[in-house]
Amino acid sequence: MSLLPPGTIKVRFFVPEQTVAALRLGQQGFMSFDGAAEKYPLIVSYISPQAEYTPPVIYSRETRSKLVFMIEAKVEEKQAAGLHPGQPVDVRLEPPHE
């Protein structure tokens, strides 16, 4: 058995290289997943400084470009307790505030 405290759960997703320049640390958004009755707010906490090739297993609704950047975001601890590691999610980010 392994335990994952809710405070350490993060959402990891990938964006095409054309999108990464518009992202900012602290940017807000939300995620949802099949069967969710609500949207979960999240905050971008990490933007990879280097591109990588599309992972062999990526859950997306459309074809992604070959180079992507990994992004990590945190969700509120009370909501993270209801998430499952490896669960596919849909992420929507709000435009960054300048």
Number of domain units in the chain: 1
Domain of 38, CATH number, reads 2.40.30.170
The larger pLDDT score, comparing residue 30 to residue 58, is at 30
Which residues on neighbouring strands pair with residue 75, listed in sequence order? 42
**Chain segment 13-50, per-residue pLDDT in tens:** 888 888 888 899 999 999 988 888 888 899 999 999 98
Confidence band for 58, pLDDT divided at 50, 70 and 90: low
Question: What does the radius of gyration of the chain's CA atoms come to, in whole angstroms?
Answer: 14
- Structural domain for 15, as ranges: 6-93
Asked whether residue 81 carries a pLDDT value surpassing 80, the answer given is no
**Chain segment 87-96, per-residue pLDDT in tens:** 888 899 887 6
For residue 1, being part of any structural domain is answered with no
Gap between the Cα atoms of 84 and 34, Å rounded = 12
